Structures are given as structure tokens and as C-alpha cells.
Structure 1
Amino acid sequence: MTTATGSRWKLYRRTDWRLSQIRRIIAEVDSLGGDRLFLQYPTQGYGWSLTPHLLCAYYSILRKARFTVVLHEFSGLSKKARFAATLMIRTAYEVIFTNSFEQKQAARIDKSIIQRSRVVKIASNIPVAAMVPPLSERKYDLGYFGHIRPRKGLEAFLSAITQIRKQTSGVACVLIGQVPAGFKSFAESIVAQCEALGVEVKLGLSDSDAAETLANVKAVYLPFPDGVSERRGTAMAALANGAMVLTTTGEFTTPALRAAVVDIPSLDAATRILEALQTPHEELALKQAAAQHFLHVEIPSNWETVASAYLE
């Protein structure tokens, strides 16, 4: 949670969001001052606590405060989580969505949200590397980038690598990622499979080191279960560092983003990936130009720009 006075921000963080702590949380937030409050939701740190929802109702309804919920995801939430998010949507002074699709999905439940919400797209945490070599000079042919946890497309990535290895051993592969809390055993299984397939593993890199590695990957395969979208920071980071993004598309994929990536259907993904790696130079140049145009027009260049947009 953050508070803002003018353009000055104060960050409020805590690990204990139990309902029994709500009085203390309110006192601590009030001590920060500020005439606006912004709550990022959902985040793993809240767990299943309803405290953020009650804070939203308390500040928006009882205190008449300018309490804004920045809703990063709605349509992809479970039924239970979506119900909880709906409580926020209906009580918040304002809701900021990260893309227009999520805003429209929320409006199906509460039409009034259109008048109380707006869209502010997110930036990537990963910078552009200091040196971005041409694709022909990159160390790795194919990579994966993201959190090492279930439902992130890792299984599909490893399945594709397994099939690729049956056809050729000449594709240099790398897995770049972070292991969220609670997924150590899952990550160990993934690492073991990577080692068996000859995939180099780079975990826990700093943002700058992750960018340097991405800038040395020709193509990043990100088979998102629901298709690529603007809120997929991993895809945005890969595009920014000049890699081809091989991915799945879906209802969340805008026409501009679709032009910037290479659609790889799940069926026979390995063959399609190998074909993409053989794309002629002229076609690659056009795809990279489309990617850079998309990033320039559609995606904020940094979080300072995003923060300023929050205050508009």
C-alpha cells in the first residue's frame, strides 16, 4: 500500500495481514499522512486475508478517503478470489486496471465501475541491457523467463525442449527465473528436468543480470495458458531486450501485441519453434520493428511514468 501527497510517495509494507491486526494497520497507515491511498491487489503477501478488502471499505465509505485499488488481475482469478475482488470493486473510491480487457470484465459484474475506473498499463521491472547484440551474435537460441511455479507454462516449455532434442542437439537453451516462496520443491524438479535436457539454468539473478542474459537469447518461449497480454512483464522484458517472443495468443492479446510476437500453437510446438528459429533475417527485422513500435506506443517506459499516471 502507498500514500501520496502531491507527487510524494510513502510506501507501507507488512508481512502480517491477519484480521486481528487491522486496528494496528489503520493506525500505521494514518501515521504516514497523505491525501490519497493506493492498494496493489492481488499480491501473494496478502494470502487469503480479507483485511485489504475491509481497509478498502473502511477508508472509501466510512472515512470518505480517496482510496484507489490497483487491480492487476481479475478475469484470471479463481471464483473465490474474484468474489473477494468484487467487494473491492464495489466499495473503492477508484479502481485502476492494468488493461482495458480486465476493466470490461469487471464491468460485467458492476457497470458503475466504468465511471469509477481507468486503465494504467504497467512497466517491466527488468531494464534494457547496456549492450543488446543482434540476434546472430547471441549465445542462446531458446530460453524461458519467469517465475518457477505451476501454471506458468514451464511444463509446455520442457515438453517442447524434449521434442526438439529428439530432432537436434544444436539448440542452446537457457532457463532464467526466480523461485517464489513455497515453490522450492517444484523448482528442484524443474531444474532436474532442465539438467537432463541440457538446458542451462540461471535462477535468482538481479534485474540487471536478467536483462543481460535476455539480451543474449535469440528467442524466448513463453507458452502462457491464457495467452500473452500486456500485463505479462516477462514478455515485455524479452521484447525490450530484442528477443523474439514465441508464445500463445488468446482473447487478452491485442492486435498490436499480436504483431510483435510469434504465435506458437500448443499443437506441435517444437516444430513451430524450430521453424521460427530459422526465420529469414528480413522477416526478423520486421518483427523486431513491430515489437519496438508496440513497446514505444503501448507500454510505459518506467515505473516513474506509471506512478505519475496514478496521480492524474
Structure 2
Amino acid sequence: MKIAMICGSWPPERCGIGDYSEALCRALEVQNVEIIRIRRDNWHLTSALSYRAQLRASRADIHHVQYPAVGYGRSILPALTPYLLSSVPSAVTLHEYEIFKAYRKPWFAPYARKSLTRIFSRTAERDAFAAAFPRRVGTDHILPIGSNIPVATTDASREKGSIVFFGLFWPGKGLEDFLELARLLRANGQSHRRLSILGAPVAGQEAFAAHLRKETGRLAIDLHEGLPADEVATFLSKHEYAYLPFPDGADERRGTLAAALVNGCIPITRHGPATPDWLKAATLPADTPLSASVLFSGPTAVVSDKSYLEKPIAAAAARYDWAEIAQKHIEIYETLLNE
């Protein structure tokens, strides 16, 4: 089986979907699927003929588009993939469909009318697409993203009661809540509890990063910037809890949540309308920093016996395992080829 994997960005470009695509390719290759990575510098519509020639030259059994990606810009060319070589079955993974405004709907129409298989990372995305294109052809599938952070390979000692935050240094993404949790815990006399932040600064947010460095020093929070993925995994594996207060709640697409789960942390997060039951079972709910702080003090503090979380966390972590995700892709590909 040969798959042409199409993405607008590939590592080392900074693009989460490019990282996902590369990790998926490697997992499929481990299972003896031949992968042709389609890379292009020009995705303008005027380059459609050269793109078609590139697809034809790949001699792939299936064309699989990962959409969107930074490198595509706003080009509609990736959406035309099913039409450029209509004799080859096509699949598309639609990431973050709900973020697109109504005027971008034409970009997705070809995926509804011509792509035989669509893959979504969460139920809400699939449902939104189904509502927009009720007469779509083909089949829809839901596969959670894999963790871009590997499972730690070192035998780290997990520090009881330690709490970590993992994510980019970006305002409004939960870091402010983590700092507030730290203030509450320190004010409550918990000066020796280990608190850590793992992440990286973002261009254009230098002032926020400077504020973060100042606050972490004042609150005795360990700050680790720009660590490679294997070191991030090691640090996660040393912490008992991960406080990840996503503003609109946890769901299947959260890469930082996936990284925490596969490395054995107990996640503390918000449960929102899109949080599936299996994630609710594997996480501790906390809507605010105050409610999170209560988990560590007072009459509702987390008890020492947390064994009831072990099986749900292990089951959730398995969903983010790349070998399992690759196998599910292979099953989808085989079905597509047999139709």
C-alpha cells in the first residue's frame, strides 16, 4: 500500500498539523505502509498542473490531505485534490474545522462532494461538518490526534503532589490560571509543593513571556523553556498532576492533554460541552484556579488513594498511541481501496 500524504508544512517548519502529519507518516511506515510526502513551496491555484503532475508521479494508491496547514495559506488548491486525479481514491483529515468562518465554506465543498473518506479528531468537528454538508458523499471517521510528545523512556521518580503546566507562552491559553493557582497554593502555606511550567515563548508575545518569567521567579515555579520533546516527556513523567485549564474545556484534540496522559500525569482541567465521557473519567474537573486549589487543601482535597483513575487514564492514553492510530488509518485505507 502506497499513500501520498499531502500537507502544506512539514518539520522543521513550525506547524502543529505538519508535526502531526510527520508523526503519522512514521507510525504508518513502521507498519510497512509506503509513504510519499508531498511537499510544495507554491500552493497557489495557478500551480494546479504541477501539483497534479506531482500527484501522478507519486503513483500512490490513495491521496491523503491534511488540512489546514500553515504552508497552504488560504489556497483552495488542496481542496481540489480529489478532482485532479479522480481515478485515485482520496481521504482528508480536517483539523479544527469549526474555526473557519462561513465565507470559507467553498474551500470544504470538494471534501464533501468528492472525497470518499473524511477523518476528524473529535465528534463536535464531525457534527459541524455534517450540519454544513448534509448531502455529503463517502464516510466520516473520528480518530483522536496522537501525542507529539513521546512516552518518557527514562525511569523518572514521580514527585507526589507536584503540578505541571505544559503549553506555549500565549495569553488566554491557561497560563494565567496556572499562575493564579500557584498564588493560591503559596498563600495557603504550600511553599514546598513543586510547581513547574514547560513551554516556549511565541514571537510577538515577548512582553507576556517577560511577565511570565517574573511571576515564576516570585512564586517559586520551575520554568523550562524550549525543551526538546524527549526532555518534555521526562519532566512530565516526574509530576503527579498536570493543570491544563483549557478555556472552552478539554476535548480529543488537545495535544498537551495527550502528552500529559501518555506520560502518566493526572490531568486537572475544565469539562466543557465537547468533553467526551472517556476524558471526563480520566481527568479531575476544575472550572477555576480556586476550585483546582481546593483539590489540594480543605475537606475536598485529593485523597491519597487515586487508584480509581488508573484504568481510565490508561485507556485514554491508549487512544493517543501512534501505533493504534496508524492501525486505524490502515483499516480506513483498506476499506477505501475495496469500495
TM range (shorter): 0.7 to 0.9
What is the percentage of aligned positions where both structures have the same residue? Answer: 26
Matching residue of 1:2: 5
Cα distance in 2 between the residues matched to 1:181 and 1:26: 35
The question of 1:224 aligning with 2:246 is answered yes
CA RMSD of aligned residues (A): 3.1
Matching residue of 1:289: 311
Matching residue of 1:107: 130
Matching residue of 1:44: 70
The question of 1:163 aligning with 2:184 is answered yes
Aligned length: 303
The one-letter code matched in structure 2 to 1:144 is F
**What SS is found at the alignment partner of 2:311?**
helix
One of 285, 307, 332 as aligned partner of 1:263 = 285
Cα distance in 1 between the residues matched to 2:243 and 2:234: 17
Matching residue of 1:234: 256
Quote how far apart the aligned CAs of 1:88 are: 4.8
Cα distance in 1 between the residues matched to 2:332 and 2:92: 10
Cα distance in 2 between the residues matched to 1:234 and 1:119: 19
Matching residue of 1:126: 149
Cα distance in 2 between the residues matched to 1:177 and 1:152: 12
Quote how far apart the aligned CAs of 1:100 are: 2.8
Matching residue of 2:61: 35
Scaled by the length of structure 2, the TM-score of the pair is 0.77
Matching residue of 1:73: 96
**What SS is found at the alignment partner of 1:311?**
helix
Cα distance in 1 between the residues matched to 2:246 and 2:127: 21
Quote how far apart the aligned CAs of 1:311 are: 2.1
**What SS is found at the alignment partner of 1:242?**
coil
Could you tell me which runs of 5 or more consecutive residues in structure 1 were left unpaired when the two chains were aligned. Answer: none
Quote how far apart the aligned CAs of 1:166 are: 2.4
Quote how far apart the aligned CAs of 1:150 are: 3.8
Could you tell me which runs of 5 or more consecutive residues in structure 2 were left unpaired when the two chains were aligned. Answer: 7-24, 335-339
The question of 1:54 aligning with 2:77 is answered yes
The one-letter code matched in structure 1 to 2:122 is N
CA distances 1:39-61 after superposition (whole Å, capped 9, x unpaired): 212223334x22xx33322x323
Give yes or no for contact 2:296–2:302 (8 Å, CA) kept in 1: no
CA distances 1:137-156 after superposition (whole Å, capped 9, x unpaired): 45x71111123334422222
CA 1:38–1:164: 2 relative to 1, 3 Å: same
Q: Which moved more, 1:18-27 or 1:241-250?
A: 18-27
Cα distance in 2 between the residues matched to 1:25 and 1:203: 39
The one-letter code matched in structure 2 to 1:256 is W
